[in-house]
Amino acid sequence: MLQLSKEDYLSDEYRAQFWNSISFYNYIQEFVGDGPRQRPSYDLWEKSRQAFVETINQMQPQVCLVFGYELWENLPSPENEINSNGYLTYVYDTGAGNKMFAGCVAHPSGGLSYSEAHPRITALMNMAKLANRPT
């Protein structure tokens, strides 16, 4: 894995490669309310589970970084759970024989810390590399 510092320069090609390899997905597919800090209803969490499964089956991701502990608690039940190095990881079958490894960090609006998130992200990427490498 590429290790960078804040002094490193990334070429346009490398940045394009990075941005073309990730996706962003809003788990709740509807407006939650008409103001900040409003929580999704039980019905919204329920309605969103099937869309999540369909999305991972279509996109075939290897890693899913979940922003926010409330979302983490409302994900569909995983195929498996791994507790490694103090991190709980959900393992989902993407429907094509590959595995997706999901892990949680704080939501950016609630105190996301790079120093806490970086090891979590690294652990998820390492799990995905080991599990999904060609045989």
Where is 19: in which H helix or E strand? helix 12-19
Helical spans, DSSP H, in 20-89: 42-59, 69-73
Question: What integer is the mean pLDDT of 106-117?
Answer: 89
Position with higher pLDDT, 2 vs 4: 4
For all residues of the chain together, what is the average pLDDT? 89
Q: What is the DSSP letter of 127?
A: H
Burial of 101 (0-12, 13-18, 19+ CB in 10 A): buried
Question: What integer is the mean pLDDT of 110-129?
Answer: 89
At residue 79 the predicted structure's pLDDT band, cuts being 50, 70 and 90, is very high
At residue 95 the predicted structure's pLDDT band, cuts being 50, 70 and 90, is confident
DSSP letter string, 77-122: PPSEEEEETTEEEEEEE-SSS-EEEEEEE--GGGT--HHHHHHHHH
Torsion, Cα of 132, 46, 117, 96 (10° steps): 10
The two three-digit tokens of residue 116, written as one number: 């806490």
Bridge partners of 93, per DSSP, are: 99
Q: What is the pLDDT of residues 20-72, one digit of tens each?
A: 889 999 999 999 988 888 899 999 999 999 999 999 999 999 999 999 999 99
Domain extents for the chain? 63-135
Up-side HSE of residue 27: CA atoms within 13 Å toward CB? 19
Tell me the pTM.
Answer: 0.85
